[in-house]
Structure 1
Amino acid sequence: MAKAIQPQKLFVASCMALLVTSLSFGIRAGILGGLGVEFHLDAKQLGIITGTAFWGFPLAVVIGGFVVDVIGMKRLLLAAFILHLLGIVLTIFATGFWTLFISTLFIGMANGTVEAACNPLVATIFPTDKTTKLNHFHLWFPGGIVVGTLLVFLLSKLHLSWQLQVGTMIIPTLIYGYLFLKLDFPVTERVASGVSSSQMYKSLLNPLFIVIFILMFGTAITELFTGQWIDVLLKNVTENAILILALTAGVQTLGRGIAGPVVHKISPTGVLLLSAIFSALGLYLLSHVSGDMIFVAAFIFGIGVTYFWPTMLGFVSENIPESGALGMNLVGGAGMLAVSVYMFFMGGFYDSIIGKQLPAGASLDAYRSAGAGTAEATAFTQATAVAGPEIIKVTLIIPIILIVAFAGLFLYMRSRKKAQVQIV
């Protein structure tokens, strides 16, 4: 059986599956504003819908983390394929809040299932270079967002429907489903190394794991909340808000492509500390500048969030290997759950900021749906131009906290490494 395992083909198929995951983020971010207008959804409802993908993800990734060693990675990925297809088709035929909610839940669960299987798969087939290969794998997330956002931008300019935009995800979904169906899979690294389930669960109480688990809340919110809501937050600050997401994701794609020398030269914790610093600077600029400077801010922010997600997972896999697939998946699930909760509260907060900018007693839906050129439409545009940067300013607090936390982690890991060298 071992001779039948083809690591490179499994890696390519994994990247294709992650491409579908990221396309769902990029395309949904691009059509979010239009869905709100067409189905008369306020920002809180949009926050609930988009947040559904983020709590559907941890639901699937945590369940997958518990069962992947038992049922195998192949079965999980075939389940992801079915969920992706269902979610895409239901989105295309959505009629309002609840159909969008259910379809987004399916897509979120599919995305989580992909991560639940592919993260341990990559760590298993590349055991000597985990963090680098996880970065290479995860470059397809921002890469797909670039493709998705540019696709939305192009198709919108051609006045093609959002249903057609969502439908473009069907092709790569069918491709990755076919590839995984034909390939043989190894057992997970934990199973292959003989680490028992009790050892795995015990490793989750490791203080280092608990610290990374908590810090993942902040890194995920900083990266994914801002990216998913960029069109809503900045659409009235710049005419091409969706291109900001494409630029940010493009920087991430290139950065993860050269992750090997970066991680090896600076160290994973050093990379995380620098990421927090650049993220904070980028968010600060996004909330204070306008015009072409927005793209400079987006570039800096893109540098900041480039290595967060894969380096956090790689850190767990390399420093707490006994936690196996469950450890990586719990950390990933924690991040997505945090984003979901944050989106829920920020949606309501965003609406409240807009409400304060409008006349007392004004209906948000009436102003949001007002015809172009009317006094109501102008007032709503001005209100959203204030609300978006305010949300970013609040979010800025998170990477500032991360700077302090990662500085402490960097010093701790450096001192631990020195102690290990002295013992040897």
Structure 2
Amino acid sequence: MQQPTFNRGQLFWASCLALLVTSLSFGIRAGILSELGTKFHLNASQLGTIAATAFWGFPLAVIIGGMVVDAIGMKKLLLLACLFHAAGILLTVFASGYWPLFLSTLLIGIANGTVEAACNPLVAAIYPDNKTTKLNHFHLWFPGGIVIGTLIVFLYNKAGIGSIGRWEPWQIQVAVMLIPTLIYGYMVSRLKFPVTERVAAGVSTGEMYKSLLNPLFIFMIICMFGTAITELFTGQWIDVLLKNVTDNAILILTLETGVMVIGRGLAEPVVHRLSPQGVLLISAVLSALGIYLLGHTTGNMVFVGALIFGMGVCYFWPTMLGFVSENLPKTGAVGLNLMGGAGMFAVSIYMMFMGSHYDKLLGEKLPADAELKVYTDAPAGSEMANALAEAKKAAGPQILDTTLVIPIILVVAFAALVFYMRGRKKAEQLTPVSA
């Protein structure tokens, strides 16, 4: 099948802008999560469910998108993502309580998943000889957008700008996401797109689905549960978990994600020297050490923990996708998108569980028979508010300790993967067929 002419550079940058909107939604929401809780009188369990909703929409969209992308094309998927992003952003801006926030976050999650469903196979298709590196370069816009988003929240609040007319600060911060949304939608509408790598190579749909039963692919799906939870749960909840440990909890997230941007930008020599599986092993070790330091240190050492954690999770997501694309190429777009969907689904379940567990821990650290909602609504500086702050200071590190188990398990899993891959024959590359 003869591929049409297309502008690889512009396609890549349109993809990056779409991913920027995805990550801005994480960064800005992480920065305003506590504020939303206060404004709409939401407890940690409700906040956890709202945050998790984005992770429900994502696997739903990325898995369905992976199944239909070969049939309808990557361009139509990205235009659909743009519509979902715009609707989700506007609904968030005009939210009036729990359910509008729930629905708006679900729409944004669906948009985020649709972006990945289209863009991961797109990057693999336009850079067939350098997949893992270019997937890292593409995915640097995820932490990059989180840095931008959290800085927007932090600087806006520090500047003391406050409300503008009827618009509260959090509404203005969310509305900023409309700008890159409209730009990437315009770019996508004007560009020509290739077909996916699997279609170009003439691999049948049946052969693609059969490849999903490969034991190595199933192993990678299970590992994706752990890598996604380690990276995304910790990042999304840092502000909630550590707000009472440090005055600059949101800057911890900014530091962590800033390291991820630099690391993914420098991925080429790292991936080529260590191999994707070697990178994953080192990442798991650093992630475990980083989470331990975040939960067991104070003062400036918390920022050291964030630095090490950022180095650890830096390569997880794109290198997991790159490993599958390079070593299991016949799994095609469905394989890549099942990986992403599995990761986000695991995070959504973990977030809901940990939101409830966090509330339970707070209840245990408050006086007997205390109602958490009463303490949450207590005025700042009151005895109840101070007691809740102390409870949060103790509960946050306990959540991190529970999460620490996951990267420790990943260290063992990826060590086994390194040894396995040494004796495995290199996967055959897909070659486009002629028309």
The answer for the alignment partner of 1:385 in structure 2 is 393
Q: Is the 8 A contact 2:328 2:427 kept in 1?
A: no
Q: CA RMSD in A?
A: 1.2
Aligned pairs for 1:4-403 within 5 A: 4-157=5-158, 158-160=160-162, 161-403=169-411
Amino acid at match of 1:7: R
Question: Using the alignment, how far apart are the partners of 1:101 and 1:77 within structure 2?
Answer: 23
Q: Check 1:356–1:159 CA distance in 2 against 1; reply closer, same or farther (3 A cut).
A: farther
Question: Using the alignment, how far apart are the partners of 2:34 and 2:424 within structure 1?
Answer: 49
Structure 1: any 5+ residue segments left out of the alignment? none
1:200-247 Cα shifts (integer Å, max 9, x gaps)? 000000001000001000000000000000100000000000000000
Q: Is the 8 A contact 2:255 2:307 kept in 1?
A: yes
**Corresponding residue SS for 2:380:** coil
Pairwise CA distance, 1:288 = 0.2
Question: Using the alignment, how far apart are the partners of 1:124 and 1:363 within structure 2?
Answer: 55
Question: Using the alignment, how far apart are the partners of 2:425 and 2:121 within structure 1?
Answer: 25
Question: Using the alignment, how far apart are the partners of 2:285 and 2:356 within structure 1?
Answer: 28
Question: Using the alignment, how far apart are the partners of 1:286 and 1:292 within structure 2?
Answer: 10
1:181-218 Cα shifts (integer Å, max 9, x gaps)? 00010011111100000100000000010000010000
Question: Using the alignment, how far apart are the partners of 1:3 and 1:109 within structure 2?
Answer: 29
Question: Using the alignment, how far apart are the partners of 1:69 and 1:319 within structure 2?
Answer: 20
Amino acid at match of 2:205: S
The answer for the alignment partner of 2:433 in structure 1 is none
Amino acid at match of 1:375: E
**Corresponding residue SS for 1:185:** coil
Amino acid at match of 2:124: A
Question: Using the alignment, how far apart are the partners of 1:350 and 1:408 within structure 2?
Answer: 33
Pairwise CA distance, 1:4 = 3.4
Question: Using the alignment, how far apart are the partners of 2:4 and 2:71 within structure 1?
Answer: 22
1:141-174 Cα shifts (integer Å, max 9, x gaps)? 0000000001100112224310001011000000
Pairwise CA distance, 1:369 = 2.0
Q: Is the 8 A contact 2:326 2:427 kept in 1?
A: no
Amino acid at match of 1:338: A
Q: Check 1:343–1:419 CA distance in 2 against 1; reply closer, same or farther (3 A cut).
A: closer
Question: Using the alignment, how far apart are the partners of 2:54 and 2:14 within structure 1?
Answer: 22
Pairwise CA distance, 1:3 = 5.1
Question: Using the alignment, how far apart are the partners of 2:291 and 2:114 within structure 1?
Answer: 30
Amino acid at match of 1:13: A
User: 33-42 vs 219-228, which deviates more?
Assistant: 33-42
**Corresponding residue SS for 1:4:** coil
Q: Check 1:418–1:179 CA distance in 2 against 1; reply closer, same or farther (3 A cut).
A: closer
Question: Using the alignment, how far apart are the partners of 2:383 and 2:161 within structure 1?
Answer: 26
Question: Using the alignment, how far apart are the partners of 1:363 and 1:37 within structure 2?
Answer: 16
**Corresponding residue SS for 1:416:** coil
Structure 2: any 5+ residue segments left out of the alignment? 163-168, 429-435
Q: Check 1:419–1:80 CA distance in 2 against 1; reply closer, same or farther (3 A cut).
A: closer
The 4+ residue runs of structure 1 with deviation greater than 4 A are: 417-420
Q: Is the 8 A contact 2:137 2:267 kept in 1?
A: yes
Pairwise CA distance, 1:104 = 0.1
Amino acid at match of 2:416: G
The normalised TM-score by structure 2 is 0.95
Amino acid at match of 2:93: I
**Corresponding residue SS for 1:409:** helix
**Corresponding residue SS for 2:226:** helix
Amino acid at match of 1:184: K
Q: Is the 8 A contact 2:294 2:302 kept in 1?
A: yes
Question: Using the alignment, how far apart are the partners of 1:300 and 1:137 within structure 2?
Answer: 22
Q: How many residues align?
A: 420
Question: Using the alignment, how far apart are the partners of 2:171 and 2:326 within structure 1?
Answer: 42
Pairwise CA distance, 1:366 = 1.7
Q: Is the 8 A contact 2:327 2:426 kept in 1?
A: no
Q: Is the 8 A contact 2:58 2:111 kept in 1?
A: yes
1:38-80 Cα shifts (integer Å, max 9, x gaps)? 1111111111100000010000000000000000000000000
The answer for the alignment partner of 2:165 in structure 1 is none
Question: Using the alignment, how far apart are the partners of 2:261 and 2:72 within structure 1?
Answer: 32
